[in-house]
Amino acid sequence: MHARADSADTVPNWPDDIFATLQRFDVRQVPYVPDAGHSKLIQRVLDSSTMRGIALTTEEEGVALLAGAWAGGQRGVLLMQSSGVGNCINMLSLIPILRFPFLTLVTMRGEWGEFNPWQVPMGSTTQGVFELSGVQVLRASQAAEVPAVLEAAAAQAYNALTPTAVLLSQRLIGAKVFTK
């Protein structure tokens, strides 16, 4: 277990790899519910001139937004943490019905050295919820594998309309450390 990076000199580079891949696939709309593990990527998106970061109040809004974006000719990606996946369940039904490209990047909680038991139930069922809902799951646990996993996920989501979730494991992000 290692601590979550939270000082400027230890900010990880893998979010830059994700951003570059999304840019290459011409992703334009990036709905998100903030998570510490996504903070660098969200900042890259908000600073970008080609992507629009869209803050949501709850994650299912993002699923519906991506359907509308595709109707209007744009690709998007939904950023959230594992606890938000449960909020999406009914709205995920839009994906097979409308057949729009769906890619979501999920930072995991409730695994790998988790401190907060309240994160564990949803973290433990995140992959199952996606699979039951018809969304294929890929996982990245090491920084070195992020580029290849993202490339594969984006390719199958955007080229083959295969609904895809990438779980960014807590091992990659670092377990959140709670201090008094």
Partner 1 sequence: MSKANLLDRRQVVSTLLANRKDVVAIGGLGASTNDMCAAGDHARNFYLWGGMGGAAMIGLGLALAQPKLPVLVITGDGEMLMGLGSLATIGLQKPANLSIAVLDNEAYGETGGQTSHTSAAADLVGVARACGIKDACAISTMAEVEAFAKAVHDVSAGPRFANVKIDSANLERILPTRDGTYILNRIRADLGFQPI
With respect to partner 1, which residue has the nearer C-beta, 8 or 160? 160
Scanning 7-15, 62-70, 104-112, 127-135 for contacts with partner 1 by CB under 8 A, the matching segment is 62-70
In the complex with partner 1, the residue whose CB is nearer, 124 or 159, is 159
Tokens 């996606």 sit on residue: 130
Site residues (CB under 8 A) for partner 1, limited to 79-118: 90-91, 93-94, 97-100
CA angle 166, 21, 64 (to 5 degrees): 55
Q: Is residue 72 involved in binding partner 1 (CB under 8 A)? A: yes
Comparing CB distances to partner 1, the nearer of 29 and 126 is: 29
Comparison of 79 and 175: residue with beta carbon closer to partner 1: 79
- Residue 18: partners with Cβ closer than 8 Å, 6 or more residues away: 41, 105, 146, 150
End-to-end Cα spacing for the chain: 19
Listed ranges 15-23, 59-67, 108-116, 172-180: which one lies at the site for partner 1 (CB under 8 A): 59-67
CB of 25 to partner 1, least distance (A): 13
From residue 10, alpha-carbon distances to 3, 5, 7 in Å are 11, 6, 6
Q: Is 9 helix (H, G, I), strand (E, B) or coil?
A: helix
Nearest distance in Å: CB 91, partner 1: 6
50 binds partner 1 (CB under 8 A): no
Binding flag, residue 46, partner 1 (CB under 8 A): no
Q: Residue 161 interacts with partner 1 (CB under 8 A)?
A: yes
**Token digits of residue 65:** 């937004």
Alpha helices in the chain (DSSP H): 14-24, 39-47, 60-71, 94-98, 120-132, 146-159, 170-173
Q: What is the CA radius of gyration of the chain?
A: 15
Contacts with partner 1 by CB under 8 A lie at 28-29, 52, 54-58, 60-74, 76, 90-91, 93-94, 97-100, 159, 161
